[in-house]
Amino acid sequence: MSRLEVDREQVERGFASLVLTVVELLRQLMERQALRRVDVGDLTDDQVEEIGATLMALEERMTELREHFGLAAEDLNLDLGPLGPLLPREPPNPAAGPPPAPR
């Protein structure tokens, strides 16, 4: 029976990458939902300010965690093959309208 050679740092970095990818996906979804609610007008000015501060703090913490594990933002974007990348390449810009349809 052969032994499996495992590099602990590589495994830790891979696991951190996976977890941070899921957290980044959720952060982006929360940001889009918040922008939608701001556009619709269901939030008070205080709620908008609180959500903005929370999202900025979360983004800052994500940057710290990526740096701690030696990961770049691109490392969190899984390639889903024919479906394309998991995360959008750039943050959504509500003023720009919907993204172009894939060809």
| pLDDT tens column, 44-72 | 999 999 999 999 999 999 999 999 999 99
What average pLDDT does the segment 91-101 reach? 49
Specify the pLDDT at position 40: 94
Q: Output the pLDDT for position 6.
A: 79
Q: Is the pLDDT of residue 32 over 60?
A: yes
Residue spans of beta strands (DSSP E) within 10-54: none
Residue 79 and residue 17 in contact, taking contact as beta carbons nearer than 8 Å: no
Tell me which residue has tokens 């990818």.
Answer: 21
Supply the pLDDT for residue 63.
93
Q: Which two tokens stand for residue 74?
A: 């691109």
Rounded Cα distance, 8 and 39, in Å: 46
Cα–Cα dist 33/19, whole Å: 21
Query: Running DSSP on this structure, what letter comes out for residue 3?
Result: P
